[in-house]
Amino acid sequence: MFDFINIFWRRVVFYLILLFFTVLFLVPAQLLPEEQIFHWWDKAQHAAVFIVLGLFGAIAYPRNTYQIFLGLLFYGALIELLQSLTSWRQGDVYDWYADALGIAIIWLFYGLLMRIKTNSFEKR
């Protein structure tokens, strides 16, 4: 029973984070604080956001990481498409490439972590 609650809350947190970043990606730039949360290059911000989304997605859906990572790739493309349809933001294919890089980084990291975890259980 507690596993259900645990997985439930992990998924709630994942979707809240997804909603938060969706709003940040789509809100007019003038409404964002002048001092950005991150003082990094735009592409690094995109990669970092998708590393975070991928990590929380993998924690929320540990048996469906492939689908989560693939879904985030489509989500990144959708965000860029939606931005290009607004008059206050602009979509950029290079932002999507940065999103994909962030997903690839977390996919490799998560795969390595799972391999280490599996190997440590096999040695016992």
Q: Do 95 and 43 meet the contact criterion of CB atoms below 8 Å apart?
A: yes
What is this structure's pTM?
0.86
pLDDT tens string, the chain, 124 residues long: the values are: 346 669 999 999 999 999 999 999 999 977 776 665 555 578 999 999 999 999 999 999 999 999 999 999 999 999 999 999 999 888 999 999 999 999 999 999 999 988 887 877 666 6
| Domain boundaries along the sequence of the chain | 2-122
